[in-house]
Structure 1
Amino acid sequence: MIVRKISLAVSAFFSIAAFAQDVASSDVQIKPEVKISYLDSVKSCFKKDNMATRVDSLWMNELVSLDIYDDLTKDIQTINSDVSVDEELPTELLKQRLQAMNEKSPFEIEYNQGLENIIKSFLKNRKKSFSRLMSLSEYYFPIFEDAFAKQNVPLEIKYLAVVESALNPKAVSKMGATGLWQFMYGTGKQYALKIDSYIDERSDPLKATAACSQYMTKMFTIFGDWELVLASYNSGPGNVTKAIRRSGGKTKYWDIRNHLPKETQGYVPAFLATMYLFEYHKEHGINPERAVVKNFETDTVQVKSQMSFKQIADLLDMPQSQIQLLNPSYKLNVVPFYQSEAHYLRLPKDKIAAFVSNEDKIYAYVKHQSEFKGLPKQLALKVSPKSKARLEKSAEDIQFYKVRKGDNLGTIADKYDVSILDLKKWNNLKTNSLSLGKTLKIKSNDSIVKSPKELKAPLIDKKAAEEAIAASDNTKEKTTVPSQEYSVAAGDNLGSIAKKFGMTIADLKELNNLTSNNIGLGKTLMVAKTAVVEETTTATTAIASTSSIDSFKKKALSAKNLGEDYYVKKGDSLYSISKKYPGVTISDIKKWNGIKDDDLKPGMKLKING
């Protein structure tokens, strides 16, 4: 009996063990398979490169920062070289150092009080900036020196890029000058720099420096003096020749300096002050920050298919900011592919090795992504008003700008390519006055990179726009269309008109370029108009109709303003004036008014012809 119980117990034990094994076996069998993405599958079969060059991301951000450019530009324009600066630097010691610099330079470097003041001002206010600039120079200066040596241009001109752009290839001035060497559009074209929807070679360090070298060589054959070459680079050769005539035929920069434009009077001293600080930075306790990337540690590869910076960053495990730094001439963060010409991608050498070793897989991935992204274009998904609002909010990019000395709403609006009315609306401003240090909110919907084809809005005629507005049967929303005309009637004043159309007096004056509160009977004013616009039911048609109406509004506004006279105000430039009239270029204004250079004077009357 006992033996029988024991055998039953043993049998039960093994049955339980067998059941446990079945369960365990069952667990293994039903474990779900982990799926990996197509990108991961491509990268998993990459041939790995053992080189381990890694880039400090903080330093990368430093390379694309514009704050030094803004600070130095402001200094050069506002430093008063006639006012002495209290900074520890004995005058006699400075004279000795300048003499030592002069002995080994083709520039005539001689002491004067204005130069001493600028050097001391930089030492007092910009020590940290120059520490950062010296770090950047380790990447850019070898590029400059190589290009200048080929054209027999003095290597010291490399310091001019510090004054021009603070060594930022993405720097853009208020007048539209772009890149390390701040070429205007026309000058860039003159020196064969390619500028199209995808590419701006004014931001290409190699090609822009070669163009700068050609310009310097050409100007030296004209003036025979390197200081005058620098002056012509800043203000144009025409202003230099006028200064020579006004000085009675003198041909040295320091002899004609007072006859040059005000900015150019501080330009050459700022260049020489920069040269001094780079030469004697150790003596003044300026320690350059560490430069992680050197130009010789990079290389280029020719691309065989259009690809975005994001695709490259994902495939090669590197930050997009690094690709942007090394390839600043690509405007849309896309390396294009044209059948007729070669385009190159610059990368760190270890990433070049990974790219070349896996080209077939990289191009296969890019092709797969482009085909995959093409599918949704056939679908028109319905979007509810709440979902549409959330989508628009996520696409909206908000920046903040701190008001500085000399700023006004016009210059800030030009800087961010927005309207003054929008600036005032976003920041609840009732007047045009700004207080120093105030932080302004800047909204933009351009954070998503679009191709040039997507950026072009289809034009429609006035009748089509009116029909689109009148056909509103679905959910509707209000939008402000600032293109309605109003004829001043008896008893009207700016206050009553502004109230009638939901505007402020300041907005009304800004929109009509009014300098006083007096308005004549029968005068035609531009006023805001509230219209009802249909909110479309599909994402694709919503974008198309909005773009079309916006294009029509710009066309109507342009047609209204063309043919009028514009009186130049203080702070105006040809660029800022052209922005007031959609479709009008700087060249148009020059041609209509017989203007040869960019000089404008307050009160000057300009014709804006149709």
Structure 2
Amino acid sequence: MKRLSLVVSALFSITMFAQETAKAEFESKPVVKLSYLDSIKSTFKKDDLATKVDSLWMNELVSLDIYDDLTKDIQTINKDVTVDQELPTELLKQRLAAMNGKSPFEIEYNQGLENVIKSFLKNRKKSFSRLMALSEYYFPIFEETFARQNIPLEIKYLAVVESALNPKAVSKMGATGLWQFMYGTGKQYALKIDSYIDERSDPLKATAACSDYMNKMFNIFGDWELVLASYNSGPGNVTKAIRRSGGKTSYWDIRNYLPKETQGYVPAFLATMYLFEYHKEHGINPQRAVVKNFETDTVCVKNQISFKQLADLLDMPQSQIQLLNPSYKMNVVPFYQNEQHFIRLPKDKIATFVSNESQIYAYAKYDSEMKSTSSRLAVKYAPKAKPAAIKPANTDAGDFEFYKVRKGDNLGAIADKYNVSVSEIKKWNNLKTNAVAVGRSLKIKPEDETPAKTTPIADKREEAIASADDKNKPTAVDMDYVVVAGDNLGSIAKKFGTTIAELKELNNLTSNNIGLGKTLIISKATIVIEEPAAPTTAIAANSIDAFKKKATSKNVSEDYYVKKGDSLYSISKKYPGVTISDIKKWNGIKDEDIKPGMKLKING
């Protein structure tokens, strides 16, 4: 009994000690302040279902490399050159006859078509594997629209030939979207095109316009091959070819009288149809789409909101919102009086959006107003630029540098690189559109040879700091990294505590490929301003103005307890003006390794 009493007493003492310790730890642990965004999101009603999007597949959907390669192939392929590829002619004839039996198109064997099919099999098998993944998202959209107007469903393969299923594809002539509408044709078919929106890139509306066009052309020509030819070269060129052929009305009879590109256009369409139909027989294994169109839905947006704000609020990649909503040119859903605008999202995100609309619009309004305040402060503290001497109009060619356009480049990224404007690059190189061919050398006049523009604070931070008073001066911090042998986006993201998606967004990358020696932006320069304190739930939902009146000093010192999923990069972003290097220095950290529950000292 004595021993039993001692054991019970010891257990009781241990339990009381553990409770006291836990209580002391709980009471000593400071309350971590929530940002307005976290406060808003903490009130959200969330569904259990979560849509997971494979990042590699996302890259394929927005990558332009297949479009560039396939377009070049179709324009340069010589249908009269025999291609050495294993495919018996008799077997091909049998398969084409089987396709012809179940299609309104006149699919008949000829040597030119055989050469195009074999060329695709020899050079483009990998591209078609990727295109078949994209088709799982887009083809149901096309088929539903075409079925409504009795358009042959096989027309869906035309989008592969036109744009490689990329709604952001833009040709050298300015044709845009999945169906490659020119500006005038888009306007003719009531597609909205303005500074914010280009409905030529909207899969639903552009496909409806394409369907209307096909119907009208079939009423004129009564032959689907001639409809395709007119889609590529215009009905006028098809009519001329009919006259020059002596009145023949079969595509194969008038083909040699059509423009050169159109001569290979219909064979490329039929070859594409063949590869989709017989991909298994040729060992083409389609990549699979993780998200399909029926797993998404649309919702009407009642106030202006940016893709960045949506991504932050709904915990989804901004690139996914761009993918699902390609018609919004500036990554913003605008608000126009008496007009409705819709956003397409995965169904579970639609549920979150609809359940929390008022909080979402409140945050979007607050965030936009804060950015406007930041811009005004930047102008206030930016040093005035001294005008550079403007050289005479007959500037010597030696004043220019030359930049060779690489895959993935665009005029906006090149202009940012040299701190000039897109219009200046177009003027120096006599460009009529924003499209530039890979490999072309562009003339660029460096910044010191051009009239000075307003200097961003990020580029002149030392001068900005010197010109502001010590108490309220804004500062700017940025970080670059030069790619070395063995690097990839994943290893660089891990090294700096960021993500692949953020690196690609900061550096305008369209794929995961990075060249040796390339300089990557790891974090962009930002202005530090006074930030409002985190609001209560009631403020978050209803009272933005009252919330904005509260402010906290940036000169603070507090402890931060690492949560699951935190990185040094994400923690540094919670404290304006604080960098990864600062946190490591304050806490004696030598690498990026932090663990949940770890206490970090933050000195603002």
- TM-score, L = length of structure 1: 0.62
TM-fit CA distance, 1:34: 1.6
Distance 1:166-1:31 versus aligned 2 partners, 3 A rule = same
Q: Is the 8 A contact 2:307 2:331 kept in 1?
A: yes
What is the number of equivalent residue pairs in this alignment?
Answer: 414
Q: Is the 8 A contact 2:412 2:422 kept in 1?
A: no
Distance 1:533-1:126 versus aligned 2 partners, 3 A rule = closer
Query: 1:155 matched to which residue of 2?
Result: 153
Structure 2 residue 305 is the aligned partner of structure 1 residue 307: yes
Distance 1:34-1:103 versus aligned 2 partners, 3 A rule = same
Instruction: Give the distance between the partners of 2:69 and 2:296, measured in 1 at CA.
Output: 30
Give, as a single letter, the amino acid of the residue that structure 1 aligns with 2:166: N
Secondary structure at the residue paired with 2:119? helix
Query: 1:425 matched to which residue of 2?
Result: 401
Query: 1:210 matched to which residue of 2?
Result: 208
Q: Deviations over 1:35-74 (max 9, x none)?
A: 1111011111111111122111111111111111111101
Query: 1:34 matched to which residue of 2?
Result: 32
TM-fit CA distance, 1:376: 3.4
Structure 2 residue 413 is the aligned partner of structure 1 residue 444: yes
Distance 1:531-1:445 versus aligned 2 partners, 3 A rule = closer
Secondary structure at the residue paired with 1:345? strand
Instruction: Give the distance between the partners of 1:370 and 1:425, measured in 2 at CA.
Output: 38
Instruction: Give the distance between the partners of 1:313 and 1:439, measured in 2 at CA.
Output: 24
TM-fit CA distance, 1:340: 1.4
Distance 1:281-1:446 versus aligned 2 partners, 3 A rule = same
Structure 2 residue 99 is the aligned partner of structure 1 residue 96: no
Distance 1:27-1:109 versus aligned 2 partners, 3 A rule = closer
Q: Deviations over 1:235-263 (max 9, x none)?
A: 00000000011101111100000000000
Distance 1:422-1:249 versus aligned 2 partners, 3 A rule = farther
Instruction: Give the distance between the partners of 1:423 and 1:219, measured in 2 at CA.
Output: 52
TM-fit CA distance, 1:107: 0.5
- What fraction of aligned residue pairs are identical, expressed as a percent? 75
Distance 1:97-1:168 versus aligned 2 partners, 3 A rule = same
Distance 1:233-1:320 versus aligned 2 partners, 3 A rule = same
Instruction: Give the distance between the partners of 1:157 and 1:242, measured in 2 at CA.
Output: 24
Query: 2:48 matched to which residue of 1?
Result: 50
Q: Is the 8 A contact 2:181 2:200 kept in 1?
A: yes
**Could you tell me which of 223, 226, 246 is aligned with 2:224?**
226
Query: 1:324 matched to which residue of 2?
Result: 322
Distance 1:424-1:230 versus aligned 2 partners, 3 A rule = farther
Give, as a single letter, the amino acid of the residue that structure 2 aligns with 1:169: P
Greater radius of gyration (CA):
1
Q: Is the 8 A contact 1:381 1:538 kept in 2?
A: no
Distance 1:338-1:83 versus aligned 2 partners, 3 A rule = same
TM-fit CA distance, 1:183: 0.2
Query: 1:286 matched to which residue of 2?
Result: 284
Instruction: Give the distance between the partners of 1:361 and 1:307, measured in 2 at CA.
Output: 12
* Structure 1 residue runs without a partner (length 5+): 1-21, 390-420, 449-454, 458-478, 484-506, 512-526, 543-610
Superposition pairs of residues 464-543 of structure 1, within 5 angstroms:
none
Give, as a single letter, the amino acid of the residue that structure 1 aligns with 2:413: S
Structure 2 residue 83 is the aligned partner of structure 1 residue 85: yes
Structure 2 residue 371 is the aligned partner of structure 1 residue 373: yes
Instruction: Give the distance between the partners of 2:50 and 2:409, measured in 1 at CA.
Output: 43
Distance 1:74-1:529 versus aligned 2 partners, 3 A rule = closer
Give, as a single letter, the amino acid of the residue that structure 2 aligns with 1:425: E
Q: Deviations over 1:279-320 (max 9, x none)?
A: 000100111001111110000000011010000000011001
Q: Deviations over 1:178-231 (max 9, x none)?
A: 000000000000000000000000000000000000000000010010000000
TM-fit CA distance, 1:324: 0.6
Q: Is the 8 A contact 2:65 2:407 kept in 1?
A: no
TM-fit CA distance, 1:374: 2.7
Query: 2:382 matched to which residue of 1?
Result: 383
Q: Is the 8 A contact 1:382 1:538 kept in 2?
A: no
Instruction: Give the distance between the partners of 1:83 and 1:23, measured in 2 at CA.
Output: 84
Query: 2:235 matched to which residue of 1?
Result: 237
Distance 1:423-1:288 versus aligned 2 partners, 3 A rule = farther
**Could you tell me which of 255, 259, 275 is aligned with 2:257?**
259
Instruction: Give the distance between the partners of 2:269 and 2:369, measured in 1 at CA.
Output: 52
Distance 1:44-1:528 versus aligned 2 partners, 3 A rule = closer
Secondary structure at the residue paired with 1:301? strand
TM-fit CA distance, 1:447: 6.8
Q: Deviations over 1:422-475 (max 9, x none)?
A: 996144x8xxxx9xx999997736679xxxxxx999xxxxxxxxxxxxxxxxxx
* Structure 2 residue runs without a partner (length 5+): 1-19, 387-396, 429-440, 461-604
TM-fit CA distance, 1:371: 2.2
Instruction: Give the distance between the partners of 2:191 and 2:293, measured in 1 at CA.
Output: 22
Give, as a single letter, the amino acid of the residue that structure 1 aligns with 2:131: L
Instruction: Give the distance between the partners of 1:271 and 1:45, measured in 2 at CA.
Output: 52
Structure 2 residue 105 is the aligned partner of structure 1 residue 107: yes
Query: 2:520 matched to which residue of 1?
Result: none
Instruction: Give the distance between the partners of 1:42 and 1:339, measured in 2 at CA.
Output: 27
Give, as a single letter, the amino acid of the residue that structure 2 aligns with 1:335: V
Query: 1:177 matched to which residue of 2?
Result: 175
Instruction: Give the distance between the partners of 2:410 and 2:247, measured in 1 at CA.
Output: 51
Query: 1:14 matched to which residue of 2?
Result: none
TM-fit CA distance, 1:367: 1.4
Give, as a single letter, the amino acid of the residue that structure 1 aligns with 2:337: Q
Q: Is the 8 A contact 1:327 1:346 kept in 2?
A: yes
Q: Is the 8 A contact 1:426 1:441 kept in 2?
A: no
Instruction: Give the distance between the partners of 2:74 and 2:309, measured in 1 at CA.
Output: 41
**Could you tell me which of 351, 354, 377 is aligned with 1:353?**
351
TM-fit CA distance, 1:151: 0.9
Instruction: Give the distance between the partners of 1:532 and 1:273, measured in 2 at CA.
Output: 51
Between 1 and 2, higher relative CO (CA 8 Å, sep ≥ 6) is seen in: 2
Instruction: Give the distance between the partners of 2:408 and 2:188, measured in 1 at CA.
Output: 40
Q: Is the 8 A contact 1:202 1:329 kept in 2?
A: yes
Instruction: Give the distance between the partners of 2:450 and 2:202, measured in 1 at CA.
Output: 46
Instruction: Give the distance between the partners of 1:231 and 1:251, measured in 2 at CA.
Output: 12
TM-fit CA distance, 1:381: 3.2
Q: CA RMSD in A?
A: 3.7
TM-fit CA distance, 1:234: 0.1
Distance 1:102-1:365 versus aligned 2 partners, 3 A rule = same
TM-fit CA distance, 1:26: 9.6
Distance 1:536-1:159 versus aligned 2 partners, 3 A rule = closer
Secondary structure at the residue paired with 1:444? helix
Instruction: Give the distance between the partners of 2:268 and 2:102, measured in 1 at CA.
Output: 19
Instruction: Give the distance between the partners of 1:285 and 1:64, measured in 2 at CA.
Output: 25
Secondary structure at the residue paired with 1:321? helix
**Could you tell me which of 104, 109, 120 is aligned with 1:122?**
120
Q: Is the 8 A contact 1:382 1:537 kept in 2?
A: no
Distance 1:68-1:533 versus aligned 2 partners, 3 A rule = closer
Q: Is the 8 A contact 1:66 1:171 kept in 2?
A: yes
Q: Is the 8 A contact 1:53 1:350 kept in 2?
A: yes
Give, as a single letter, the amino acid of the residue that structure 1 aligns with 2:381: K
Instruction: Give the distance between the partners of 1:301 and 1:294, measured in 2 at CA.
Output: 17
Query: 1:186 matched to which residue of 2?
Result: 184
Give, as a single letter, the amino acid of the residue that structure 1 aligns with 2:105: F
Q: Is the 8 A contact 1:165 1:179 kept in 2?
A: yes
Q: Deviations over 1:155-184 (max 9, x none)?
A: 000000000000000000000000000000
Instruction: Give the distance between the partners of 1:439 and 1:303, measured in 2 at CA.
Output: 32
Instruction: Give the distance between the partners of 1:537 and 1:271, measured in 2 at CA.
Output: 51
Distance 1:363-1:422 versus aligned 2 partners, 3 A rule = farther
Distance 1:447-1:441 versus aligned 2 partners, 3 A rule = closer
Q: Is the 8 A contact 1:234 1:264 kept in 2?
A: yes
Instruction: Give the distance between the partners of 1:147 and 1:287, measured in 2 at CA.
Output: 27
Q: Is the 8 A contact 2:47 2:351 kept in 1?
A: yes
Q: Is the 8 A contact 2:64 2:408 kept in 1?
A: no
Secondary structure at the residue paired with 1:81? coil
TM-fit CA distance, 1:535: 7.2
Secondary structure at the residue paired with 2:299? strand
TM-fit CA distance, 1:364: 1.1
Give, as a single letter, the amino acid of the residue that structure 2 aligns with 1:131: S
Give, as a single letter, the amino acid of the residue that structure 1 aligns with 2:168: K
